[in-house]
Amino acid sequence: MFAGRLRVRYNDEIMLDELKKIEQSAREKLANMGDIDATEVLKIQFLGRKGALSLMLRAIKNLPEQERIKTGSAANRLRQELEAAFDKKLAELKKTNHESVLQREWIDVTRPGVKTPRGHLHPLTLVRRDAEAIFHSMGFVTVEGPEVESERYNFDALNIPANHPARDMWDTFWLRSNQKSQKSKVKSQNDGRLLLRTHTSPVQIRYMETHEPPFRIIAPGRVFRYEATDASHEIQFYQLEGLMVDRHVSIANFKFVIQEFLRRLFRKQNLEIRLRPSYFPFVEPGFEVDVACIVCNQKGCSVCKRSGWLEMMGAGMVHQKVFAAVGYVPAEWTGFAFGIGLDRVVMMKYNIPDIRLFHSGDLRFLKQF
Ligand SMILES: [Zn+2]
């Protein structure tokens, strides 16, 4: 940058003046440097092979001897001084840079770690697993069935033919897509329209169609009802279906199994139950199972509506027409079936006032279990 002017005027005074300007400029710029890379670039600008000072030294060669010695030694001294200044600055910058990295990236290895939050099971899952374990210990096995069912499995085979008034007991979600594919057309001709199962009882039919007695099964699962929701009604809830079929199954067998189950589920060894006559099309006789109020111990409270008893489930001895529907010889077999509302059991067990809390996704509720 100084070369053009220097070629024109070979004069030691001008040269010394230029050297001063270079020194002043270099020192000013260097003082403001805060970055290592930029400082390296600046160093090359002044001291590099094509830098300002090298160009000066080259120009000095063309001066007369006296002037050359004078300006040459001044230029060399300046070169050494500037090199030292640059090196000093670079060393300083490297040191502060290193210190700031240490400051920024310092890790206290002795600090306690952050605890990873762990998920846990939904109260419905807890009770379902508990219930399954109790039944498994009594020789029952868990089976599953589809949530989208056909009319035949959900109603007809369970002795609830079309136009039977008992169908009104189950408010049903019917599916509209029945006729869409050829496959479902065939299915709908055989098994009727599709629906969301209103109870877990169709699993009984599916199992009996493919298995020979004797057997003991439970079928926990989600069921759906087309009805208004309130504190004790949801459009989806969980049932646990049970079925035992053998040559000589009696109501006494049922009573023992279910009492044992409830005593262990509620962890109350003297828990009393009672059977009340009731009607379900797929059992004969049918009954409701009540359990002595676990809240008030039969003294009477708002939960049991002062009666001392809580309704737990519907049950009964398997109807002969159901055996006939799955191809069994009805006279040969006896059995009991029951369906427990799991949500209701969980509500009783943990004293939960509103069934809608289960699917609310409210963590304040869920974290209590
Ligand atoms: Zn009570």
The predicted pLDDT at position 2 comes to 53
Please tell me the distance between residue 303's alpha carbon and the centre of ligand 1 in angstroms.
Answer: 5
Q: Which of 152, 197, 225, 344 is catalytic?
A: 225
For the stretch 152-207, pLDDT in tens is 999 999 999 888 877 777 788 888 865 554 454 444 456 788 999 999 999 999 99
Q: What is the pLDDT of residue 10?
A: 56
CA of 124 from ligand 1 middle (Å) equals 22
| CA 302–ligand 1 middle distance (angstroms) | 6
Q: Is the pLDDT of residue 355 over 70?
A: yes
- The one catalytic residue among 74, 203, 289, 337: 337
Domain ranges of the chain: 3-104, 123-366
239 is catalytic: yes
Task: State the DSSP code for 236.
Answer: E
C-alpha dist (Å) from residue 265 to 244, 271, 297: 20, 10, 16
- Closest by CA to 263, choosing from 121, 123, 130, is 130
Reply yes or no on domain 123-366 having CATH 3.30.930.10. Answer: yes
Radius of gyration of the chain measured on its C-alpha atoms: 45
CA of 310 from ligand 1 middle (Å) equals 7
Measured N-to-C along each axis, helices 251-265 and 123-137 cross at an angle, to the nearest 10 degrees, of 130
What CATH number does the domain located at 3-104 have?
Answer: 1.20.58
| Catalytic hit among 128, 193, 199, 264 | 199
Rounded to whole angstroms, how far apart are CA atoms 116 and 342? 31
**Mean pLDDT, to the nearest integer, of 338-343?**
93
pTM above 0.85, yes or no: no
- Percent residues over pLDDT 70 in the chain: 93
Summarised one tens digit per residue, pLDDT across range 29-66 is 988 888 889 999 999 988 888 888 888 888 888 888 88
Task: Give me ligand 1 centre to Cα 292, in Å.
Answer: 8
The active-site residue, picked from 170, 204, 219, 325, is 170
**Locate tokens 């262990």: which residue?**
264
Given the residues 131, 143, 157, 283, select the one marked as catalytic. Answer: 283
pLDDT at position 177 is 65
pLDDT band of residue 338 (cuts 50, 70, 90) is very high
Q: What is the reported pLDDT for 15? A: 81
Kindly indicate the confidence band of residue 74, based on its pLDDT and cuts at 50, 70 and 90.
confident
Q: Is residue 320 classed exposed, middle or buried when 0-12, 13-18 and 19+ CB atoms within 10 A define those classes?
A: middle
Q: How far apart, in whole angstroms, are the C-alpha atoms of residue 207 and residue 211?
A: 6
Strand-pair partners of 241: 219, 339
